[in-house]
Amino acid sequence: MGALTARTHLLEADYLSIYEARSRCEFKAALVRSARKLEFSIVSTTVFFDHLHGPHESIGVSNTPTDYREAFESTSNGRIDPVMQHCKTSGLPIVWDRSTYVHAGRVAKWEHQAQFGYHCGIALASHLPRGRHLLIGVNRDQPLPRNSTGITRMTASLQLFIAHAEEAAARVLLPKRPDESNAVALTPRELECLRWTMEGKTAWELGQILSIAENTVVRHPYSATRKFDAVNKHQAVLKALRLGIIE
Amino acid sequence: MLQGHHLSVLAARNRDEFQQEVVGFARHLGFDRIGTMTVVEQANGSSEFINIDNAPEAYRKSSEFQVQGQQDPVMQHCKKQSLPILWGPSVYADASMTEKWEHQSSFGYGHGIALAMHLPRGLHFMLGVNRDQALPADPQELQRLAAELQLYAVYAQDAALRIIAPRASGTGETLALTRRELECLRWTMDGKTAWELARILDIAEHTAVRHLYNASRKLGCTGKHQAVMRALRLGLIW
């Protein structure tokens, strides 16, 4: 971390301020400032969080005009928008303009959004472990540069930007999970029993290993189970694993 | 619309073509040496490392090259972070590894930029460019290099996974576990029994048991609880 901070300081301040953002407000300010520097007036970032059962959650920050939001931020928008469709499956950036929508047969959608300043833009997504996806889009009403050097530089800056935003977005945008925010205090014995349970040992085997009575063994995982608000000892092991209490 | 290097790496069909592409890009960026490492976490808990680079043979054979992974401060950074690291002798001096730096710098690994992408399904991709000459002092120029590398990494990673780990890169085919099997593991993680699972998913109880059995077998585990733990480690469920 020491080396990282020292080295990152060499980069421009905007990247550092998104990386270190402590609140939604700071995050948004850094986002808008960086987009303006790239000469895009509208910017949005969304974190998607997949659930294996049930619909995904999404939460975002943007300086999108309110009337645009009312017109487009419905669930059907994502399905008909070719830029969203691209980002859903690909980790590669997409540089888009009217022709993107023409090719997809969605020119009406483009004409509608263009009224709000969404003529062209660059969008990209990071698909991360544990079902997280981060999407960034910058948009404007001015045409994109015609030369590929200009476009490559813009896209590259945005890609570097999203790398800096990954952690911060999860930190400031996603609500803290209740079971993770309050620490669970386990006794050393409870921990030991959970570790052996993780290895697949039964209560009887644990009793042999730890030279304690079987009913004591049953009691330890049981109290750990209660502390974790888990339904059984196996779920207690999983919760302890996820919280990094055991490895 | 992007510059040629990004799109041409996507067209690489095999490891040799991929290597030519990345070397060409590194030269264009002003670096003589480039290294890529693709890490594929396996269902049985081990990891496969695939290196494609243009390291000189003498460097590859040296003992310092072998120990690189465990101690090298640049590698250590990439293991945990997804930000690029811009490094030179001072990063090695801070880690008390000046000797290692002196050795590698004689092979053209004196200064560089490295970054890693940590992806779903237990996949990781690292990319580093290296050279004799120090990195530019001008922050804008430095930022341009880091940004270009970051952008290129996205394309190179896409190509590398397709060439090296086609099984792992296909969406939906998560280590060949079906969506239903994953769903059953996820509910088991929440402490649901097979009977409860059957009610929730509206399937027969023995079907739920079969899903869990198949998932456990594919993950090389003996029971459903062990399978849940392995699936968690691999990032298949969360």
pLDDT of residue B179: 86
pLDDT surpassing 50 at residue B181: yes
Q: What is the mean pLDDT of residues B66-76?
A: 76
pLDDT at B170: 43
Across the interface, whether the CB atoms of A12 and B140 are under 8 A apart is answered: yes
Final residue of a structural domain among A155, A174, A193: A174
User: How many whole angstroms separate alpha carbon A220 and alpha carbon A205?
Assistant: 14
Q: Same domain for B94 and B212? A: no
- B165 and B214 assigned to the same domain: no
**pLDDT higher than threshold 80 for residue B175:** no
Beta carbons of A193 and A217 less than 8 angstroms apart: yes
Nearest to A7 among B87, B187, B191 (CB): B87
Q: What is the mean pLDDT of residues A87-109?
A: 92
The reply to whether B205 falls in a domain is yes
pLDDT of residue B233: 76
* Range list of H helices, chain B: 4-10, 15-29, 57-61, 63-71, 73-80, 89-94, 98-105, 139-164, 166-169, 179-189, 194-201, 205-218, 224-233
Q: What is the mean pLDDT of residues B179-208?
A: 91
- Domain range for residue A143? 7-174
Instruction: Average the pLDDT over each of A138-142, A189-193, B9-13 and give the range with the smallest value.
Output: A189-193
B238 is a domain residue: no
Report for A72-76, B118-122, B126-130, B175-179: range of highest mean pLDDT: B126-130
Cβ-defined contact of B83 to A12 (cutoff 8 Å):
no
ipTM score assigned to the predicted complex: 0.76
B89-to-A144, A247, B65, B69 alpha-carbon distances in Å = 40, 35, 17, 18
Q: Work out the pLDDT band at B31, boundaries 50, 70, 90.
A: very high
The share of chain A scoring above pLDDT 70, in percent, equals 87
Domain boundary among B140, B169, B198: B169
Strand pairing report for B47-53 and B33-41 = antiparallel
**Given this model, what pLDDT does residue B4 score?**
76
User: What CATH number did the domain enclosing B192 receive?
Assistant: 1.10.10.10
Contact A159 B154 (CB under 8 A): yes
Contact check, Cβ <8 Å, B186/A53: yes
Separation in Å, CA A92 to CA A38, A127, A138, B107, B152: 19, 10, 15, 33, 10
Q: Residue B189 pLDDT more than 80?
A: yes
> Of A148, A167, A241, which has the smallest distance from its Cβ to B232's Cβ?
A241
Q: Is residue A129 part of a domain?
A: yes
B194 plus B162 within the same structural domain: no
Provide the pLDDT for residue B85: 92
Residues A73 and A163 in one domain: yes
Q: Residues 6 or more apart from B184 whose CB is under 8 A from it? A: B197, B201, B208, B211, B212, B215
Amino acid residing at B28: H
Residues 6+ apart with CB under 8 A from A58: A46, A47, A48, A49
If asked whether residues A45 and A92 sit together in one domain, one would say: yes
Is A1 within a domain? Answer: no
Q: B174 in a domain, yes or no?
A: no
Which pLDDT belongs to residue B79?
86
Residue A116 lies in a domain: yes
Of A239 and A163, which is predicted with more confidence?
A: A163
pLDDT above 90 covers what percent of chain A?
27
Share of chain B above pLDDT 90, in %: 48
Q: Is residue A141 part of a domain?
A: yes
Tens digits of per-residue pLDDT, A154-209?
999 999 999 989 888 878 887 665 555 456 778 888 888 888 888 778 888 888 88
- Tell me how long chain A is: 247
Same domain, A121 and A191: no
Domain boundary among B169, B189, B222: B169
One domain, residues B183 and B165: no
The CA distances from residue B137 to A9, A10, B25, B150, in Å, are 12, 8, 22, 19
* b/e map B35-56, b = 16+ CB within 10 Å: bbbbbbbebeeeeeeeebbbbb
User: How confident is the model at residue A5, as a pLDDT?
Assistant: 43
